[in-house]
Amino acid sequence: MWRHSKRWVYSITYDEGCQRLVDHALPLHRRYGIPGHVALVASQVGVPRNCPGSSYDGMMILSREELDMLAQEGWGVSCHGMTHAGISHDNARHEVVEARRTLEDALQRSVPLFCVPNSNDGYPAALAVAAEAGYTAIMTITDMVNPPDQDLLNLGRVPLHTEYPPPFYSKFDPYKRLHQAADLGGWVIDYCHCPTPGQAIHPWKDCTAEELEERFATVRRIGGDEVWLAEPNEVVAYLANSRTGHP
């Protein structure tokens, strides 16, 4: 059993931390009672996103003041690298270790979770320096339900996207992984970027605001009183304490 004797857990994360989340996602979080989480590029807080070639390049990123406001509503943060560059053994200390210090200085709070940017190709290099950086958990983009005994340094996240790229062609599924999590007593961590009304900014990387609401409504309907709606840092702390005999 999870905290509060819940059967399974649901979380959601937003990569990059675009300011538009306040307009389009936050009202839905309030309506459905689900805390949020943003994975932040350490060197880009409160400034326009600077990742040429990204669908979100130039979009304003949440400021410290806005992040503090979200924290008051139960939202959390993780580090998404120093620059969002692909992580290699050559740049890992800058992108993973130094990034944590930079982000903590910017936010004036602890950031014990790392979120691998780009693809899982950077995961091995990030893992190699995770202990040096002091991270307690790493989130990847592996589409899976995390069982209660999952390695905290290899957490999977479920893509909440309007569709998959070719050759898959799958469409948005509001039920994705939820019944599996309920059956297994596991933990679903969704991820997307910046849901907007009517059309996803990039359908392979994001969902619409309407799809986000459908997902939240489905989580609440399927989960009922058995789902723990939790921010990832809270779940990691619970699991870490449970494993050391201090639930």
* Predicted local confidence at residue 225, as pLDDT: 97
pLDDT band of 246, cuts 50, 70, 90: low
Tell me the CB-side half-sphere exposure of residue 178, using CA atoms within 13 A: 24
* Predicted local confidence at residue 247, as pLDDT: 56
Report the CATH fold assignment for 3-243.
Answer: TIM Barrel (3.20.20)
Mean per-residue pLDDT of the chain: 96
Query: If you write DSSP's letter for every residue of the chain in order, what string do you get?
Result: --GGG-SEEEEEEEES-BTTHHHHTHHHHHHHT---EEEE-TT-SSSB---TT-TTTTPBBPPHHHHHHHHHTT-EEEE--SSSPPP-TTTHIIIIIIHHHHHHHHHTS---EEE--SSGGGHHHHHHHHHHHT-SEEE-----PBPTT--TTSB--EE--SBPPTTT-PBP-TTTTHHHHHHHT-EEEEEES--BSSS-SSTTT--BHHHHHHHHHHHHHHHGGGEEE--HHHHHHHHHHHHTT--
Place of tokens 């999870």: 2
Give the whole-number percent of the chain exceeding pLDDT 90.
94
Largest CA-CA distance found in the chain, in angstroms, rounded: 47
Where in the chain are the domains?
3-243
The model's pLDDT over 100-118, given as tens digits with 9 standing for 90+, comes to: 999 999 999 999 999 999 9
pLDDT above 80 for 243 = yes
The model's pLDDT over 157-188, given as tens digits with 9 standing for 90+, comes to: 999 999 988 888 889 999 999 999 999 999 99
Average pLDDT over residues 1-10: 94
Give the whole-number percent of the chain exceeding pLDDT 70.
99
Average pLDDT over residues 55-78: 97
pLDDT above 60 for 236 = yes
Between 117 and 52, the higher pLDDT residue: 117
pLDDT band of 135, cuts 50, 70, 90: very high
End-to-end CA distance of the chain: 11
Average pLDDT over residues 129-149: 97
pLDDT band of 67, cuts 50, 70, 90: very high
pTM of the model: 0.96
Residue 168 structure tokens: 């898959």
Given a contact cutoff of 8 angstroms between Cβ atoms, the answer to whether 86 and 122 are in contact is: yes
* Predicted local confidence at residue 140, as pLDDT: 98
- What distance in Å separates the CA atoms of residue 114 and residue 101, rounded to the nearest whole number? 12
